[in-house]
Amino acid sequence: MTEAAVILSLLRLPGVGAGNLRLILTRLFQLGLPPERLGELTDRQLALNLRLTIPQIEAWRHPLSDPEADLRHCAELGVESLLPSAPQYPLRVLNLLGRTAPALLFAQGNLGLLTFPSLGVSGARRSSEASLAAVTQLCEKTASQGWVVVSGGARGADEAAHLAAQRRGPGTIIVLPTGILNPSLRQEFKRQLEEGKTLLLSEFPPEQGWTVGCGMQRNRLLAALSWAMALVEPGLKGGTGGTGRVALKVGVPFFILQNGGDLGAGAGEFLERGAHILDASASPRQLALRLLKSHREAEADREAGQAQIQFPA
């Protein structure tokens, strides 16, 4: 079995999410075995060395679906399976998330969009009309300066961001909270996918449906793909606030989008923790330069922090 097929099989085991998968792969590495040789282990070794449960071992031995066949089916539909060793796997994700980066990504569309500067947008489904107008203005202007927009494909602020980016710039990246064969997207996105202005990304098994856990897990990838983040009406709880906390944790600069009214219940917390107000009425050039400057400052801070860890004074 190929490495990608092994990882897909592990992702499908009961109770194995992204965190447990990383532990399993780490334990396998400690045994000196690549994932492709997982099938050589006995049930006892799976239990004692990899700490799989009996239900997990049974599911591994008797899968409901053939992972190799499923990956071939994905390829026939234009879906690429990207291991961290693949040249198309986004290096920024590996750099920011390290060992916690997804062990397998599914991608459909224009992978070249990963090479552009990227603005992440996270907002509520029920964003106000003023916020939706500000999102559209922001994303049209930054897209006109050669930036792609990264968001989650949901109704509301996400959709406004994607559509604005498709109209005015290189395109948009949709980070799915579902499997790549099970997205809930409007027809416009599907058309733009064929025209090369969209990239779909997922870290979940292709058939995976939506769950709250997948939605929250997806926010890590969304933030890691972004040079800077714009939060739209962030709440104290929920996806937008969660994305902001992930951005803060991994060192992605983030902003609260000015909408002329209520900035969101969680805006105060983020402003206290280093976020800044972003005014979409600025010129396209001014917006792009501000985002680029914040990105380079964050990168310099990260490199300085790594140097201090490696070479303490």
Per-residue model confidence as pLDDT tens digits over 269-298: 999 999 999 999 999 999 999 999 999 999
User: Please, are residues 148 and 172 in contact by the beta-carbon 8 Å criterion?
Assistant: yes
The pTM for the full model equals: 0.94
Q: Is 62 or 187 the better-scoring residue by pLDDT?
A: 62
Q: What per-residue confidence (pLDDT) applies to 306?
A: 66
Residues 6+ apart with CB under 8 A from 87: none
Cα 39 to Cα 54: distance, rounded to the nearest angstrom: 16
pLDDT greater than 50 at residue 311: no
Q: Quick check: 164 and 189 in contact, CB under 8 A?
A: no
